[in-house]
A and B are shown apart, each in its own frame.
Chain A
Amino acid sequence: MIDVRGLVKIHGSQRVLDGVTFSVERGEVAAILGPSGGGKSTLLRCINGLETFEDGFVQVEGVTLRPGGARRETAETLRALRRRVGMVFQQFHLFPHMTVLENVLSGPLHVLHVPRAQAEAEARHLLDRVGLQEKLSARPEELSGGQQQRVAIARALAMKPEAILFDEPTSALDPRMAGEVMSVITDLARSGQTMIVVTHAMGFARNVAHTVHVMHEGRIVESGPPVQVFEAPREEVTRAFLSDVKTEGPPAR
Chain B
Amino acid sequence: MMSVRIRRRVVLVLPVLLVGISATVSADTLDRIRGRGSLRWGGDQSGGAPYIFEGSDGKLTGFELELAEVLATKLGVRGEFVQGQWDKLPQLIDRGDIDIVLNGYEWSPERERQWASTVPYYVYKLQLLVRRDGETIRSWDDLRAGPGQARKRIGVLIGSAAERYILERFGDAVALKPYDGVTNAMTSVEQGQIEATLQDVPIAIHYAPEFPLLSPVGDPVAPGHYVILVERSEDTLRTRLNEAILGAFEDGTLKRIYEKYGLWNADQLELGRIARSWPPAVEVASTDSSSLPHFGKLLLDAAAMTIALSCLSMPLAMLAGLLVSTGRLYGPRWVRWPLELYVEFLRGTPLLLQLYVIFYVLPNMGVRVPAFWSGVLGLAINYSAYEAENYRAGFLAIPRGQMEAALSLGMSTWTALRRVIIPQAVRIVIPPVTNDFIALFKDTSVCSVITVTELTGMYSRLSNNQPHLVLQLGLMTSVLYLLMSYPLSLVARRLEGRFKRVAA
Contacts and interface: CB of A to CB of B under 8 A. Distances in A.
A169 to B, nearest CB: 13
Interface string A84-112: 00110101011111000000001100111
B265 interface: no
Given A96-B504, A97-B424, A97-B502, A106 B408 contact: no
B401 to A, nearest CB: 4
Interface stretch (A75-83, A119-127, A178-186): A75-83
Nearest to B424: A97
B414 to A, nearest CB: 10
B276 interface: no
A110 B415 contact: yes
Contact of B410 (A83, A95, A96): A83
B435 interface: no
B407 A111 contact: no
B401 A75 contact: no
A79 B407 CA distance: 8
Given A95-B420, A110-B415, A141 B503 contact: yes
A216 interface: no
Given A93-B404, A95-B402, A97-B502, A82 B410 contact: yes
Contact of A106 (B401, B404, B409, B412): B409
A48 interface: yes
Contacts of B503: 96, 141
A152 B404 CA distance: 13
A93 B405 contact: yes
A86 B405 contact: no
B407 A107 contact: no
Interface string B25-49: 0000000000000000000000000
Contact of A89 (B333, B404, B413, B423): B404
B407 A50 contact: yes
Main secondary structure of the interface of B (DSSP, over half): helix
B59 interface: no
Interface string B228-262: 00000000000000000000000000000000000
A86 B408 contact: yes
A111 B411 contact: yes
A86 B409 CA distance: 6
Contacts of A96: 424, 502-504
B501 interface: yes
A89 B401 contact: yes
B501 A139 contact: yes
Contacts of A89: 401, 404-405, 408
> Which of B407, B410, B419, B504 has the most C-beta atoms of chain A within 10 angstroms of its own C-beta?
B410
A111 B409 contact: yes
Interface residues of B, number: 23
B405 A95 contact: yes
Nearest to A81: B410
A159 interface: yes
A99 to B, nearest CB: 11
Contacts, number: 68
Given A97-B423, A141-B503, A79 B412 contact: yes
Nearest to A91: B401
A155 interface: yes
A106 B409 CA distance: 8
Given A95-B402, A96-B502, A48 B408 contact: yes
A141 B504 CA distance: 8
A155 B420 CA distance: 14
A156 to B, nearest CB: 8
A140 to B, nearest CB: 9
B409 A155 contact: yes
B315 to A, nearest CB: 23
Contact of B408 (A82, A94, A95, A141): A82
Contacts of A75: 412-413
Given A95-B402, A96-B503, A141-B503, A107 B413 contact: no
B171 to A, nearest CB: 56
A94 B420 CA distance: 10
Contacts of A71: 333
Nearest to A88: B408
A112 B424 CA distance: 23
B151 to A, nearest CB: 52
B419 A110 contact: yes
Contacts of B409: 82, 86, 106-107, 111, 155-156, 159
A78 B404 CA distance: 12
Nearest to A107: B409
Contacts of A111: 409-411, 415
Interface string B381-415: 00000000000000000010110111111111101
Contacts of A95: 402, 405-406, 420, 424
Nearest to A95: B420
Contacts of A152: 405
A94 B501 CA distance: 14
25 contacts: A48-B408, A50-B404, A50-B407, A50-B408, A71-B333, A78-B407, A79-B410, A79-B412, A82-B407, A82-B408, A82-B409, A87-B408, A89-B404, A89-B405, A91-B401, A93-B399, A93-B405, A96-B424, A97-B424, A97-B501, A106-B420, A110-B411, A111-B410, A141-B501, A156-B408
Given A110-B415, A141-B503, 7 more contacts: A50-B407, A75-B412, A78-B407, A82-B408, A89-B408, A96-B504, A159-B409
Q: Please provide the 7 A-B residue pairs with the shortest distance between their CB atoms, ordered closest to farther.
A: A97-B502, A93-B405, A93-B401, A87-B408, A107-B409, A83-B410, A82-B410
